[in-house]
Amino acid sequence: MFKSFARACAVGLIALASLAAQAGELPQVVIVATGGTIAGAGASAVNSASYQAAKVPVDKLLASVPELNTVARVRGEQAFQIASESFTNEHLLTLGRKVAELVAKPDVDGVVVTHGTDTLEETAFFLNLTIHTDKPIVVVGSMRPGTALSADGALNLYDAVAVAGEPTARAKGVLVVMDDCIWSGRDVAKTINIRTDAFQSPWGPLGMIVEGKSYWFRAPVKRHTSNSEFDIANLTTLPRVDVGYGSGNANGDAFKAFAAAGAKAVINAGTGNGSVSKEVVPTLQELTARGVTVVRSSRVTGGGFVIRNAEQPDDKYGWVAAHDLNPQKARILTMLGLTVTNDPAQLQRMFWEY
């Protein structure tokens, strides 16, 4: 009897929240769905690592978490229904335009983007660099499909909506909310693929969210959103930028192939401090002479930090050091940078500032 009474009370509270939302007392948050695990389904409740992503449409996703109505007036829009490993530059541009259109509306207080976790960090960084707004934009995913035991998607989505409607989340850039943590979209990265605490940043979270309430501990200092020199409104295409992975016995073949296929820049995902194998250096020098931008990043998990003119004479070669951005995020910034300039000095400035 007690459980039935408690459930009835919960349903009543959700109904009251819905009435309050209709009266305009709650923030309005739009959820833009793109697919991913958070919209996935497995064959059984024990399938938490093997499942099909991007199966559940946004309306059913929202209906599965009625508690959203206690923290915001929510509505959903289906941008894509794909697994995020298939996210292309065209998807980034389309999504960016949609988010920019939404945050420009006076009756929208925040936007949540549901996304597959494989490339979630790249999309978050792209939006962080291209959307001119102080309104909260939150990217969220899940590590387990909604059909799994201990699925994390429902709570992650609830937390993301709560943060997106929170005035204290304004002007902090694009955020990623996962596993009770609020991360900067700039520096968070997926570090493991089978645990719910998969997303981490070498500099720690910006804050935590507990039972729908945000607690903040630091703020981003790098340029973002309304303070960015990049604007989605000015972007029609993005130049090709490819990533070559450093390892023992590395050679320059991949970089040559990238350039032959039309790459305007290559990212060296180097060992350690963005190191470049002696077998690869001549190839990258040759590509630089042909006008291909070379960026040294690090493949180190959880905090590769590339120091300019260490390991390689960047000034002499005209190369760019990726600072603390991992290879996939270095690719995003390099693409955007090349829409403005191909001057290595200016590109290096961007890596220091963003």
End residue of a domain, out of 227, 255, 274: 227
| Claim to verify: residue 62 and residue 125 sit in the same structural domain | yes
Determine the average pLDDT of the residues in 327-344: 98
Amino acid at residue number 225: T
d(CA 59, CA 135): 24
What would the pLDDT profile of 161-176 be if each residue is shown by its tens digit? 999 999 999 999 999 9
86 is annotated as contributing to ligand binding: no
Domain range for 94 is 17-227
Which residues are bridge partners to 35 per DSSP?
A: 82
84 is annotated as contributing to ligand binding: yes
Query: What pLDDT sits at residue 83?
Result: 94
46: left (phi over 0), alpha (psi -120 to 50) or beta: alpha
User: 8 lies in a domain?
Assistant: no
| pLDDT over 70 percentage in the chain | 92
| Claim to verify: residue 136 and residue 105 sit in the same structural domain | yes
Element at 289 (helix H, strand E): helix 281-289
Among residues 136, 145, 97, which one has the least CA distance to residue 117?
Answer: 145
Query: What pLDDT sits at residue 24?
Result: 55
User: 234 lies in a domain?
Assistant: no
d(CA 111, CA 170): 11
What would the pLDDT profile of 61-83 be if each residue is shown by its tens digit? 999 999 999 999 999 999 999 99
Query: What pLDDT sits at residue 21?
Result: 44
Amino acid at residue number 341: T
CA distances to 58, 262, 288, 317, 328 from 292, rounded to whole Å, are 41, 9, 5, 12, 18
What would the pLDDT profile of 182-226 be if each residue is shown by its tens digit? 999 999 999 999 999 999 999 999 999 999 999 999 999 999 999
Query: What pLDDT sits at residue 203?
Result: 95
277 is annotated as contributing to ligand binding: no
Query: What pLDDT sits at residue 10?
Result: 43
The mean predicted confidence, pLDDT, of the chain is 92
Residues that are catalytic: 37, 117
| Claim to verify: residue 124 and residue 217 sit in the same structural domain | yes
Query: What pLDDT sits at residue 50?
Result: 62
| Total count of domains within the chain | 2
